[in-house]
Every structure is written in C-alpha cells, then in structure tokens.
Structure 1
Amino acid sequence: MMNRLKRIYSTYTQKQNSKHKSQKNRLSTFTKRVMVTTAAASTITLGAMAVHATENSLLGTIYHVYLNGERVGAVDDNELLDKAVNDKIDSVQKQYKDLELSIGNQVSVVPEKVFRPSADNQETIDAVVEQVEVNASASALTIDGKEVVLLKDKEEAEKVIELLKLDYVSKEDLEALEQKQAEQVVEQELPELKNGESRVLDVSIAEKVSFSNKNVDPEDVVTAKEALEQIKKGTKEAKKYEVQAGDSLGDIAEKHDLSSEELLKLNPDIEMSSLLEVGKTLNVSAKKPYLKVLVKEEVSKNEEIPYEQEVIEDEDLPKGETKVKQQGENGEKNVRTIMTKENGVTMKTEVTHDETLKEPVKHIVLKGTKVIPSRGSGSLAWPAVGGYISSKMGHRWGKMHKGIDIARPSEKTIKAADNGVVESAGWDGGYGNKIVINHQNGMKTTYAHLDSMSVSVGETVSRGASIGVMGTTGQSTGVHLHFEVHQDGQLKDPLNYLNN
C-alpha cells in the first residue's frame, strides 16, 4: 500500500514540476485536483499524510475582478483592491462633501482556489481605479414625468418645493396652513374674518411632482438654491403677439424678454417694412416656469360704494351755470372674497359675502338752461369761418404769444365766440383793431388785427354774430385773427374752451 502511494505522489510531482517549468498553462483546483484514495480509513499511513500536506501547500486563492460584467484581471489580495477603490471614493468625497458616494455594483469579485496562485495585482488595480465611476446617491425631482433636477436626497428635494411656495406665501401662513391640515380643520369650521384680515386656505402645486432615488454623476447634483432658480426659470414656449398702435420693435422685444435681434430671428419671413403694421401677428417667446404654485386665499375688506351723480336741468339758472343741490357721499360695504392665484397672478375671484354697511348719497347738480343774451355759456364757438391755427399759444420769438392765430379762412368774417357785451372796440397798438367781449360769466375774449369792426362798446352780441372782418392791422405779418381767452382775470389757452 505504501509503495502504491509513493508511486502516485512521484507521478503527481513530476507532472507539477513539468507544468511549472513550461509556464504556459496554470491548472485550477477544479480541473487538476489530485484525489488520494485509501482502502480503509484505519489503514492511512504517514506517507499518505505527507502527500496531503504537500498538496495543501500548493493551493491558494485568487480573486477574478469584473467591472460592469467585463473581466479586468485578478488579484491575490482582495484587501488591496478594496483599499484602492476606497481611496478613489475618498478623493472624490473631498470635492463633494455633502454627498453620499459609492461605486454601486460596478465592481464584482469572484474568488477561486488554484494551485500555485499568481496574479497581476497592480495592473488589475490600476485598470479598475481608472475605469470605475464614483456615483452619488441622489433624489431626482420629476415634474409631470420629466426629470428636471437632481438633489442630494428627498429631504433636499422637498425643501425646494417649500422654498418655491414661500415665494408666494409667508412662512407663518404656510406653517399655519400645514397645522390646520394636520388637524383636519375644514373651511366651514374657520372663524369669520374681520375687516382687513386674510388667511391662506390652500397652497398647492398644479403639476404632478415625484421623487425617486438613483445613482448619478456627482457633478449633476445641484443645491436647493440652484434647483429653485432652474425651476423658476423654466422653459420657453412659442407665443404669438399682435402688433398694437404705437408699438416699436424694442418695446415688443423687451416685453417678451428678447433682444431686437432675437425678435427678428423669430420672424424671418416678415419684411422689415411691414413688421410693425398694426394687426400683424409676430412670433415671440415667453418664459414658462416648470411649476405653478396655486394659492387659495380668503380676504375680508371694506370697500367704498361710489355715489351716483344726477344732473337736473334748471330753467331758472342761466345757461352755462351749475349748482350743487345735494353733495354726494360714498357708501361702504364689506366684501369677502376667495382668490385663486397662479404664481402670484390672480386668476379667479369668488365673492362669498357682500354686505352694505352704509348706503351712498346721490350727488345732484342743477344745470342752467336759461338763455341770457348778454351772458355766455362757457363753451366757445370757432370765431372764424373755417381757417386753421397758424400759431398756438406759448413762447414765440423770445416772448409770450398770448393766444392763437387763425389764418386762411373761407371768408374773412369774424364772429363772437359766445353771448356777451362788447367791453372795448378800437385801436390798441400792436393789436391793431381789437374787440374785447365780456361774457358776464368771468370769461372775456379778445379779437385782434381786424381790418374793420361792426360792433361798439356796450352792445350785446350773441354767439356766432358778426363783429368784424379779418385783417392785418397792428404788428401783423399777414392776414389773420389773433384770439385770446381770459377766465377770472387769468390768461387761458383758447383750445381748452373752443367747441366747434
């Protein structure tokens, strides 16, 4: 039996030595394991034990390393690989201190028992460190099925939503609302609001928002502040704009957050000459935020009820005069409304309570209709037959031009602008022939540079009556009428009183 075991061991040793010298092919324990069989357990000898001890000394473990399912190599010390990977994670962690980093399941190791283990430790480890990706555990904020931003965790993502809400409601209102919702307080149980009070009934997001965990590149993870800015900035959607009277290219561009060049690029098919035609439809761009915050707010406030105004004609009151019979007073009412706002813009207002606290008092005015030949109405007629304003009231040639000049009439007849009494009629230096009519209501009108006059002082004239002929007397550069208006002794612009 002993001789047989020695022969088996000798044969095995020769084969192993031959394989070792050639270095062409290593045999695994699974394909080249030597099996020593004994006749009975009680007959095992010292020689058999020596063979088994020698066999165990040739066995060892190597670790096959796979990266994303692809074999990279093998190491004989798994701890060296672990240390190298952890060192890479630590180096990245220094840059992204707040993130939870890992390599996920990219690297896998499969151990194997082999004879005479041998592995390229450094080559394998270098390949793994170079290729392995360090990932960050993050929470993806998804809006209506579209992933918008990545944050470090769900708590940070929920913080972004809260910050967005705080753009449109106060922290106190939001906390109070959350407390009511936790206590399941319904609107019907809320106390009645007093004048000037308000409360937030609901704050919600119009879109469907969800969060999901995923491993991502640390560079793609943003802070809550950065995420908030990105969500508020949103995307751009195409819109149309109809050109209005008075629009300019710059105004339209600025209104839609564009430069003039960008606006032109959006409308390449429209000729520049017709771009600003009223009614023309232009392509413009408007920002559309990713999320819309809906705020439902109840408000109670007292509002004025404007008084009505009534005018009653009075035949005993001279035409042109008015008199207050009853002074108007505004009323007051309490109005409670529920407003729905979208990103701060009121979209709907529902009146839930409208109670009159004080009735308004009507304002009544008497309007005179009695015609007095010597008294004007305050509304002036055009003092010429046709013609146009050749010079307005204002500074001219270094001095004040006190009235308006009317030139090129259809005919040269000058007419009284309103009922009144002739106060003066004659020559007045630079005015030439001049007529002043006192309209007995605080107003006086002046007619100058007349060629001739057909009325005299003290004469009562009616509105539209002929008082003279247009001319060029006095300091005049041509045939025209110089026309002035004085009200209660103050020079006034005739254009504010003329009524053709």
Structure 2
Amino acid sequence: MNRSSLYNSIPPNKYLQTSIAILFLTFVFGAYATFASAENKPSVHTIYHVYINNEHIGSLLDDQPVYSYMDELLETSGELFPDLTLQVAEKVKIIPEFVFTEGNDDEHVLEALQDKLTVEAESMALMINEKPAVYLASEEDVKEVMELLITQYMDEKRYEQFLEGLDESTLDVGETLVTDVTLTEDITEDLTLIAPDQILSVKDAIKKLNKGVLEEKPYQVKEGDVLGSIASAHDLTTAKLLELNQDLNADSVIRVGQKLQVTAYQPLVEVLSTHLSKVEEEIAFETEIKEDDSMWKGENKVTQEGQTGSQVTTYETTQKNGNTVKREVVSEEVTKEPVKKIIKKGTKEMPSRGSGQLGWPAVGGYISSYQGNRWGRFHKGIDIARPSNYNILAADNGKVVSASYQGGYGNLVRINHNNGMETLYAHLASIDVKVGQTVTKGQKIGVMGATGNSTGIHLHFEVYENGQLKNPMHYLK
C-alpha cells in the first residue's frame, strides 16, 4: 500500500494539481533564482505545510517526520489488532512551498499529530433497523454471528434440516421438525470504518445482542414483594428504583397488583421459530358404574378391566428465544382405542346387614377408659360414661344374637352385622331387644346401667371383625 492510500491523504486529482503547481513554482523560482544569482540575492528554500482535515497545523523543513510518525502509529496499532486492516482516520495533506528565506520547524506540528491522529479499521457493521448494533471484523464473522444467534436456541441438526427444506412428510413419531425461523427485527450489514477497539469478537457480539440495552418497563407487584426485593431482582438499588418511581419513598407501602417502573435489559433482536412434532400419547380409559340389584349394597365387582388407548398427536409450537409461547394441536390420529373399566355396584339392601361404618352407641358421653391393660388385666373394649341420657343405641344394622345376663358383663346385647363384624354392649340396666330381632343403626337396644362387675353407670363396648377382637376407636367417628 502506498502512502497516499495508507494515510488517507491527498486524492489523485489533488496530486495532479499539486504537481502542476510545483512545476509552475519551480519554473518561476528557477527563473528568478537565475536573475537573483546575478544580483547576489538569497537562494530559494522549501518548507512543507501540514494539514489535518483541512486544518493547517504548522510547517516543517522536512516532510519525512510526518510519514514516519504515521508509519509508527499504524505499526503500533497493528500489533494490538493484527487481524484488522488499519488506516489513519484523518485526512493528512502535505503541501510544499518555495520561500526565499530560511524557514524553521514548527515545534507544535508533531505534538498536533500525536493529539489529532487516530486509527480506524475496516469492519462489517451489523445493522438492526438501519442502526449499527455491533461491529465485526469480516463477512465471515457476520455469517458466524447470524448462525450462532439462531442455533443457540435450537438443535443445530434441526436447523440444518430446515435449511435443506425438509417438510412434514418426513416427520416420524418422536421427531421434531423446524418449519420456520424469523428474527423480530430487520438485520442488514454495511461495510464501514470504525475505531478498532469497537470491533467485537463473535462471542462478544452474541453476548451484546442477547443482553441488549436497558429499557424502562412496568412491573406488577406480587404477593411478598417489598421495594428492596424488587430492586434486587432487576439489578437496581432501592434508591434507583425510587428515582424511577417518584411517587414512592422509602417508607411507602406497596400493594399487590400495583405497577412500578423498573429497568431491564431488552435483547436487541429475538429469534422466532416454529416447530412441528409428532408425539405418541396415552388415551385414558373411562370408568363406567353399573348398578346391580342382585348384589348387596356396599359390594363392588370389576367385570371389565380398563385399558389405556394411544394416539399420535401433531403439535405446532412457537418459540421465542427457545421459550415456548404457543402450542397448538394440528392433528390427532387414534392408533388404539381405550377400553372402558366396568364396575358393578350392588344396590340390594338387607335391613340386618351393616354398612361397616359404626355409629356412636350412646347419646353423648365421653370415653372414661380405652382398650388396653388396666388394673393388671386387658380391658377388651372402651367405657362410655356420663351421657345426655342413658339410652344404648345399635352401632349399625344387624341381628341380635345374644340378649341376656352374662356374668361379669352383666346384662349384655351382642349384634351380628352380617358383614363380618359384631358389636357387644355390656352392664345394661335393662334390655329392650330379643335374640333374632333385626335392628337398625341408631335404634335403642337398652338402658345404660351398672350390672355385672361395674364401678358405676357406664357402657362397655367391644368390636369384633371376622371373630377377632378390634379396637373400637378404629371404627368410631
């Protein structure tokens, strides 16, 4: 590269004009010098006027220091930015002038060069909506940034398939196909000159495009929010948050739903992509209950086991920067019909058959003694004392199988509930039912007393299931 292009100095037509001027001045001064020589006049000298962007900064007796400084400036910058094409940013002109008196170097010229001259580099500007967003070193870097901008949010293989133009007919179950990729902003590129430290690497360019710029936006207060937590979540100080919301102060109480202004980084550009996916899904089976009056109430029987079905569903998903913003069903194809589960439910009622849910066998009262070891022996049931009245009630539907005096139990009633359960009622003052009699839940069967081995008026109550003694507390509510 010659100096005229390297230093961004005099254009070619200017060089022609300067050459003509120099030839003319040489002719004039040459003729005058011949005449002056005859008269013993002073000789002609050359000085060099230096201009930066058409501003005259001084003159020198030799133009070489100007070129040397610019060479040094480019060499130094080239060491810092070895991969860039550099040039002096300002237009430098050096115009010679022939004078009859000896000139002097302007001491400020080189200082002015150091102050005013800068270096610029060729770069590719990535323009977003016609405004420069990032500067890159080459066309290859631009292509890499554009590809990474997209593939950072989707599988690279799927993106390659999209570029190949594969359509839905190639989509199998369990696969996803990218059908469209667009950017939210208009992106172009432009060859330009810029300070070399403004040119970014591919990695830093992607980071800047993703991070974007700070913009004010509204925030809706959620439950549990305080000013400090809102500020921290948006990388603000509380003071800065209050500055953005001048109607608030440090003691302000904020309410759920209230809107505040916060600042947040907004990406310079976002990637919108559309995906088609085929998924095999289960179809849940239904359960049908059929009443059967030939079965006892409370009995259930599964007559047909349920089976799940299956279908292939095609979804269209829209993503923004890799996050799903919309998902719609495009088609459904049933591949296996589900089978209903059918349950027969008995409705036949038997007055002497219990439901299995025991009712409280007294009218109020409290438990004065629980089942367990007591006084050196095992207490088989619970004792209920101090009721509202002394009526004893059947805990469930059933048939009386015992109603008589039985030793330490005193007057006793035993009821078989015809569902594997039996209940026993002891120490009754009187019995109101007979053996073989059918009773209903809550029916009076006797009066609380203190017959048999009893320390006072109370009801002793026992529960048996399939002949095994049980803890009544497991059945009573």
Shorter-normalised TM range: 0.5 to 0.7
CA 1:420–1:240 in structure 2 vs 1: closer, same or farther (change >3 Å)?
farther
CA 1:358–1:256 in structure 2 vs 1: closer, same or farther (change >3 Å)?
farther
Mean alpha-carbon deviation: is it higher for 252-261 or for 168-177?
252-261
Does 2:15 align with 1:64? no
Report if the CA contact (8 A) 1:253-1:260 is conserved: no
CA 1:49–1:308 in structure 2 vs 1: closer, same or farther (change >3 Å)?
same
CA distance in 2 between partners of 1:409 and 1:79 (Å): 122
RMSD between aligned residues: 5.7
Look up the match of 1:301.
279
Q: Alpha-carbon deviation of 1:128?
A: 0.8
CA distance in 2 between partners of 1:63 and 1:255 (Å): 60
Does 2:177 align with 1:199? yes
CA 1:381–1:140 in structure 2 vs 1: closer, same or farther (change >3 Å)?
farther
Q: Alpha-carbon deviation of 1:269?
A: 4.2
SS at match of 1:94: helix
CA distance in 2 between partners of 1:254 and 1:86 (Å): 55
Q: Alpha-carbon deviation of 1:84?
A: 0.7
Does 2:109 align with 1:124? yes
Look up the match of 1:216.
194
Does 2:98 align with 1:114? yes
Q: Pick from 56, 71, 78: which aligns with 1:93?
A: 78
Q: Alpha-carbon deviation of 1:129?
A: 1.3
CA 1:114–1:323 in structure 2 vs 1: closer, same or farther (change >3 Å)?
same
Q: Pick from 252, 265, 283: which aligns with 2:260?
A: 283
CA distance in 2 between partners of 1:229 and 1:377 (Å): 71
Look up the match of 1:144.
129
Q: Alpha-carbon deviation of 1:276?
A: 5.9
Look up the match of 1:248.
224
Mean alpha-carbon deviation: is it higher for 76-85 or for 138-147?
138-147
Report if the CA contact (8 A) 1:140-1:150 is conserved: yes
CA distance in 1 between partners of 2:309 and 2:147 (Å): 42
Look up the match of 1:429.
none
Give the letter aligned to residue 260 of structure 2: N
Q: Alpha-carbon deviation of 1:152?
A: 2.8
Q: Alpha-carbon deviation of 1:443?
A: 8.1
Q: Alpha-carbon deviation of 1:124?
A: 0.7
Q: Deviations over 1:392-433 (max 9, x none)?
A: xxxxxxxxxxxxxx9x999999977765689999xxxxxxxx
SS at match of 1:360: coil
CA distance in 1 between partners of 2:429 and 2:226 (Å): 56
Report if the CA contact (8 A) 1:484-1:493 is conserved: no
Give the letter aligned to residue 137 of structure 1: E
Report if the CA contact (8 A) 1:485-1:494 is conserved: no
Give the letter aligned to residue 248 of structure 1: G
Does 2:291 align with 1:313? yes
Q: Alpha-carbon deviation of 1:222?
A: 2.8
CA 1:102–1:273 in structure 2 vs 1: closer, same or farther (change >3 Å)?
closer
Q: Alpha-carbon deviation of 1:81?
A: 0.8
Query: When the two structures are aligned, how many residues end up with a matched partner?
Result: 415
CA distance in 2 between partners of 1:321 and 1:252 (Å): 61
SS at match of 2:205: helix
Does 2:348 align with 1:362? no
Give the letter aligned to residue 135 of structure 1: E
Report if the CA contact (8 A) 1:379-1:418 is conserved: yes
CA 1:442–1:289 in structure 2 vs 1: closer, same or farther (change >3 Å)?
farther
SS at match of 1:249: coil
CA distance in 2 between partners of 1:136 and 1:412 (Å): 106
Report if the CA contact (8 A) 2:124-2:138 is conserved: yes
CA 1:79–1:380 in structure 2 vs 1: closer, same or farther (change >3 Å)?
farther
CA 1:409–1:79 in structure 2 vs 1: closer, same or farther (change >3 Å)?
farther
Mean alpha-carbon deviation: is it higher for 486-495 or for 85-94?
486-495
Mean alpha-carbon deviation: is it higher for 247-256 or for 366-375?
247-256
CA distance in 2 between partners of 1:303 and 1:255 (Å): 44
CA distance in 1 between partners of 2:235 and 2:462 (Å): 50
Q: Pick from 120, 127, 142: which aligns with 1:157?
A: 142
CA distance in 1 between partners of 2:464 and 2:125 (Å): 77
CA 1:445–1:90 in structure 2 vs 1: closer, same or farther (change >3 Å)?
farther
Q: Alpha-carbon deviation of 1:291?
A: 2.2
Look up the match of 1:238.
217
CA distance in 1 between partners of 2:41 and 2:177 (Å): 87
Mean alpha-carbon deviation: is it higher for 331-340 or for 460-469?
460-469
Report if the CA contact (8 A) 1:137-1:216 is conserved: yes
Q: Deviations over 1:359-380 (max 9, x none)?
A: 1111222222233345454667
Look up the match of 1:336.
314
Look up the match of 1:12.
none
Q: Alpha-carbon deviation of 1:484?
A: 11
Q: Alpha-carbon deviation of 1:87?
A: 1.4
SS at match of 1:194: coil
Q: Deviations over 1:456-495 (max 9, x none)?
A: 999976455578999xxxxxxxxxxx99999999999979
CA 1:50–1:357 in structure 2 vs 1: closer, same or farther (change >3 Å)?
same
CA distance in 2 between partners of 1:58 and 1:351 (Å): 92
CA distance in 2 between partners of 1:409 and 1:294 (Å): 75
Look up the match of 1:176.
161
Give the letter aligned to residue 143 of structure 1: I
Does 2:67 align with 1:82? yes
Give the letter aligned to residue 326 of structure 2: K
Q: Alpha-carbon deviation of 1:126?
A: 2.3
CA 1:108–1:312 in structure 2 vs 1: closer, same or farther (change >3 Å)?
same
